[in-house]
Amino acid sequence: MATRTELLRQHRELSIAIRASEDWQASYKDDPKTFKALLAGEADLEASAGAYLRDLAQRSLGYVDWSRLPQPVAADAGPVLNNSDPVWKQEETLLASAILDIVTELVATGAIAGENLYGISIDFTTLDEAILIAARTQVAQLVSNVTATSRDLIRESIRQSIARGEDVNLAKARLLDVINNHNPVRAELIAHTESVNAYQRGLKNFGKVTGAVSKTWDGLAGACKLCSPLVGKTIPIDDLFEGGYDHPSRHPRCRCGLIYNYS
């Protein structure tokens, strides 16, 4: 029987193979080395986010004042710990610790891809200040959103239990089911979306350092209805595309890219 470590390794390899076969905007695949690193980072991000979310499911039981069930109380005065309670800041810290190194590697991968694609060597590493700042900024935004979603899931589960008149045991079982059933999808979406975001942050850092003046949204033929209006649009490097986007991803699982222009 395969060990858990072996199963995780096999899952990682399968994830990388599946993602490699998907449709990506051409620039991602034009540099095979950084494309491979992007796929590996995406798989690692999914695994780390998934492990964090699995642990959160058990911790979430401690974030509810079960003595207040089944009282039908308002959400802002209910049995779930409020946004300001220290446990949520701790959750943000735990998630940031789990993913920061991976996101930093992905940002650096995007910058290195720029070097290879445009033939301009800057020798970016994960220790460059711009890379570190970009990674920390992205992680801070991500963990805040993930924690808010976790609170919402917990609150909605408790509302459902109260509405059904469930006792504490049933309410706890429902909460675990709700969190655990959402976790695989959440981990996958985090990985697919944030890996591209991190790569593109790194690529923009490259563009800024090397003097690019504008950027062009580049997408696949038959791009989705969200991205198709942007494909081919060129704007100054620090402007935002329609919808307020600095770069892909435009939506979960977006595989669009950017072309940086120097004159």
| pLDDT tens profile 81-109 | 888 889 999 999 999 999 999 999 999 99
In order along its 263 residues, the chain shows pLDDT tens digits of 678 778 778 888 888 998 888 889 999 999 999 999 999 999 999 999 999 999 999 999 999 988 877 665 554 456 888 888 899 999 999 999 999 999 999 999 999 999 999 999 888 888 789 999 999 999 999 999 999 999 999 999 998 998 898 999 999 999 999 999 999 999 999 999 999 999 999 999 999 999 999 999 998 878 889 999 999 999 999 999 999 999 999 998 899 999 999 98
Average pLDDT over the chain, rounded to an integer? 91
234's enclosing H/E stretch is: strand 234-236
Indicate the length of the chain as a whole number. Answer: 263
Ordered by start, the domain boundaries in the chain are 25-210, 211-263
CB 124 within 8 A of CB 111: yes
pTM equals 0.90
Summarize pLDDT for 189-221 with one digit per residue, the tens.
Answer: 999 999 999 999 999 999 999 999 999 999 887
- Tell me 82's DSSP state: P
Using CA atoms of 229, 235, 238, 244 in order, give the dihedral in degrees to the nearest 10.
Answer: -20
Please report the pLDDT score of residue 196 as a whole number: 96
27 contacts: CB under 8 Å, gap ≥ 6? 113, 117, 218, 257, 258, 259
Q: Alpha-carbon distance 3 to 120, whole Å?
A: 45
